[in-house]
């Protein structure tokens, strides 16, 4: 995964110095944490595939726990001619379990 990182020149000025012996600029290691929103991230197909393979169970739990996401998933599956009757049954069972708990 390639992640472009922009480092402010002020931070580089603090990390780097000119070395007379080396006749060049030497920089210390740059250690920092950066926070990004989902909108700021862009994944290629391979990245997405790796994420799905790693987090399949979590992704399915999220999709099935939210009615809007479940409906969107079912709509996309139906548009691709994929039988969703088993998913509909599991979704209904989850809804029934939630209703029993309340």
Strand partners, 19: 24
pTM of the model: 0.49
The pLDDT tens digits of the residues spanning 43-67 come to 889 989 999 999 999 998 898 888 8
* Chain centroid offset of residue 72 CA: 19
Q: What does residue 56 show for φ and ψ, rounded to 5 degrees?
A: -55, -50
Residue 77 confidence (pLDDT) above 80? yes
Q: Where are the domains of the chain?
A: 9-101
- In angstroms, the CA 98 to CA 92 distance is 10
Which two three-digit tokens encode residue 57? Answer: 């169970």
Residue percentage of the chain with pLDDT more than 70: 86
59 and 52 Cβ atoms separated by less than 8 Å: yes
- In angstroms, the CA 22 to CA 18 distance is 8
């Amino acid at each position: 995964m390639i992640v472009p990182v922009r480092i402010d020149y002020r931070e580089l000025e603090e990390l780097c110095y000119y070395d007379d012996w080396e006749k060049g600029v030497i920089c210390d290691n740059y250690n920092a944490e950066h926070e990004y929103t989902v909108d700021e991230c862009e994944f290629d197909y391979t990245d997405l595939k790796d994420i799905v393979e790693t987090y399949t169970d979590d992704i399915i739990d999220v999709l099935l726990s939210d009615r809007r996401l479940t409906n969107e998933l079912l709509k996309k599956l139906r548009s691709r001619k994929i039988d969703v009757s088993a998913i509909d049954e599991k979704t209904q069972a989850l809804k029934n379990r939630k209703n029993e708990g309340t």
